[in-house]
Amino acid sequence: MDASGPEPTVVTTPNHAESSAAVAVADKPLIRDRWQELRQLGQGGMSTVFAVHDLQTNEDLALKLIRPELVCDVRSAIRLRAEERALRELQSAPHMLQIHPSQPYADGALILTELIDGEDALKTLKKGMDLPLALRIAEDAAACLVFAHEHRFVHRDIKPANILIAPDGAKVIDWGVALSLDDGDLFPDAVVGTPSYMPPEQAMGEAEPMSDVYSLGCSLYEMLTGEDSAPPEARQSTFTMLTWRDKHDGPNPCTICPRIPKGLGALVEKTMRRGLNERVQSAAELLHGLEYYDVAPMQATRRTVVDLTPLQYTDVVSRN
């Protein structure tokens, strides 16, 4: 679990009321009785994530806490509780961050998970262009989304920073703004997500499973090209980004990297269509398309973050 990278945009009217659970956890001595802090992994707008050593179980874990200045913000506690629920209900999903058995139930103040020391997807790929690795990371994320969507959860903040590379493959993290289609939106007055990866319908407060497909398409474009899928003029502000995405379909990565297979480029472009009827229709459809171009899908015995010897780029460019 990691809190690095920009926190998803959450535009709400704050509701400040005391959360006793959050206040208790903010008392650092209480935390030190159980967990020894090893290092800070990252910090977002709502929470901080630490690598900790569990003094009771003798394990190294990841501990996500509400930031001290937000311990009296009920919405922060609700978000963390919603993330815990999503993690619990989706534990059987492939490539899902695993919650620790000692996690307090419906606590609303902390989340305790496995510790993933790997980097996020973009940092890993920036070490060197590796098309097969980018495909495998996207496949793992898509497989996780297939399961989540079947169980009626929409992540709403898919981006490279929320895909971590573990020894057994990529894992989708940070389910704090996930939408349960059965329970409805906890914050109907909010627009949630990260603008650089947000589809138009989500910006209008109408996220659905295809919204995650769009966001994963933006992420894959960035992993393949090293560039944002929106032009520089769109990245001036949240408003300019959302306006651009409302008026433009995403680009084809082949325009920047001509050696990317044409069929793969067309698939990525189709994930970023504004119109839902024109977009790749499901995470399952996207996964199927990605698997066609992956000559060696990641299995249980796959390369790890310490063994990222690039496969030959020519292994896949012949497919078009």
Dist CA 79 CA 14 (whole Å): 13
- CB-based contacts of 46: which residues, under 8 Å, 6+ apart? 7, 10, 66, 67, 70, 76, 79, 80, 176
Q: Active-site residue among 130, 157, 174, 294?
A: 157
Tell me if residue 157 is catalytic.
yes
Q: How far is CA 95 from CA 99, 160, 170, 176, 300, in A?
A: 12, 14, 6, 17, 11
First to last CA, the chain: 36
Q: Computed from CA positions of residues 234, 236, 240, 245, in that sequence, does the dihedral angle turn out positive or negative?
A: positive
CB of 296 within 8 A of CB of 132? Answer: yes
* Short-list 51, 9, 11, 55, CA closest to 32: 55
* Short-list 236, 179, 229, 184, CA closest to 209: 179
* Short-list 61, 66, 72, 36, CA closest to 48: 66
Active-site positions read 157
